[in-house]
Amino acid sequence: MRLAQQYGVVDARDALNCRELTGMLTKDGQALLPILELILNGRKTIDQVIDVMGTAAIQAILEMDARAKAGEPHRGKPDDRPGAVYRHGYQDGVVPLSDRRLRVRKPRIRTKGGTGGGGAGGEKSREVPLPAYEALRNDPRAGEQIAHLLLRGISTRDYQTAIESMAGTVGVSKSAVSREFVERTETAHDELMARRFDELNILVVLIDGFQLGDHHVITALGVDDGGKKHILGVTASGSENAAAVKTLLQSLVDRGVKPEERRLFIIDGSKAIRAGINEVFGSEHPVQRCVTHKVRNVQDKLPEERKAYAKILIEGAAKMNRDKGLAKLNSYARELDATHPDAAASLREGMEELLTVSGLGLPEALARSVRSTNMIESPQSMIRKTTGRVKNWKSQAMALRWHCAGCLDAEHRMRRIKGYADLCLLEQALRPEVVKSKKAG
């Protein structure tokens, strides 16, 4: 919605909005305007959205096709070699979809005239047809397919897949679309790792691993005192090891996340992550073990008919006060000893850290948000959707580059955590002297 506000009120007749949206689509297929929100909020009809989104998407495809043939548009004298292809501005055009006609600005490309161009007396400069435009103009099936893909992109917000498929429908190679993405992703890691957090009051840090092929990418996400989420940093390694976690956490300290300020860490249960926290920030910071991960780990060692009960009991105990919840979990572990000792051992591992949040006395809405790593897994699901089509992760650098770009995309869609209005109570539990001094001031 932030981007929607940036572009103002979307109107199919507003050429400026359409040009800006076209530029964004061309440059950045991973972070396109959340069109569906305009519809859901009653601000535009589906027909108006299709007009604007369709025009912008098609113009982006035409631009990609022109770039593949003649490169980027630029000022100055064109290549004067005979037969060379160069950009020659734009002209109005019309593209028929299955149920409407859209006006577009078609990029023009021409050949340079002169001797050696093929004719005996030299060839004159001539217009070069744009294959994507010709396909859309002359093939009714292409327009019908574009309309279908456009609607799918709008309904699912999967604009990247839609625009790639639309480009492929009219003969623009996937590599042309991919190059745009690679150029953007090359700077994503540097952008993320250059961020500073001196002015942010980070109360919660979540750390979680994510696997892309054979590569582990570890992400740190922070929550400030207003409930807003921030991607703090990303690193990659061959495995989720303590050295990689330490490198990531040390970078947070170097960029302004003060280790002396007590905060809540939420982890999936990895010993490497726990060791990294202790080494960089110290063992006095409370650590919450993700309840969802613990449930899965225990369920993996139980038969199907026992899994639902395990989930209910563990999640219920995690909501109790600390002493009562710990007693409940210990009782269940003893019960499992006789029949499923592996499940009992899994439950006991890090058991007390399942109840860290319970000991902070937080309201349930906020406690539910910080009892698991779900808030970091939501953006990671967006990344998984983006990267799911990649079958060959050629290098760790490639995995890191794609993950960072996905993080930047996901961050724009993140909402404040549920229960954020009570974060002052978390700060009071973590840093009572800080809260006291704020009130005194």
Cβ–Cβ < 8 Å for 366, 375: no
pLDDT of residue 152: 53
The per-residue pLDDT of the chain, averaged, comes to 76
Is 106 strand, coil or helix?
A: strand
Tokens found for residue 158? 């999967």
pLDDT tens by residue, 303-347 = 999 999 999 999 999 999 999 999 999 999 999 999 999 999 999
pLDDT tens by residue, 346-399 = 999 999 999 999 999 999 999 999 999 888 776 666 666 655 556 666 677 777
d(CA 415, CA 374): 13
For 190-286+356-433, give the CATH class: alpha beta
Cβ–Cβ < 8 Å for 377, 2: no
Q: Of the ranges 22-36, 175-189, 239-253, 330-344, which is most confident?
A: 330-344
Tokens found for residue 305? 């008919």
Q: Is the pTM of this model over 0.95?
A: no
pLDDT of residue 383: 63
Using the predicted structure, report yes or no on whether residue 207 has a pLDDT greater than 50. Answer: yes
pLDDT of residue 76: 56
Ordered by start, the domain boundaries in the chain are 2-172, 190-286+356-433
d(CA 201, CA 225): 6
Cβ–Cβ < 8 Å for 431, 201: no
Q: Which element (helix H / strand E) includes 362?
A: none
pLDDT tens by residue, 244-302 = 889 999 999 999 999 999 999 999 888 889 999 999 999 899 999 999 999 999 999 99
d(CA 69, CA 85): 7
Using the predicted structure, report yes or no on whether residue 412 has a pLDDT greater than 90. Answer: no
Residue carrying the six token digits 């960089």: 280
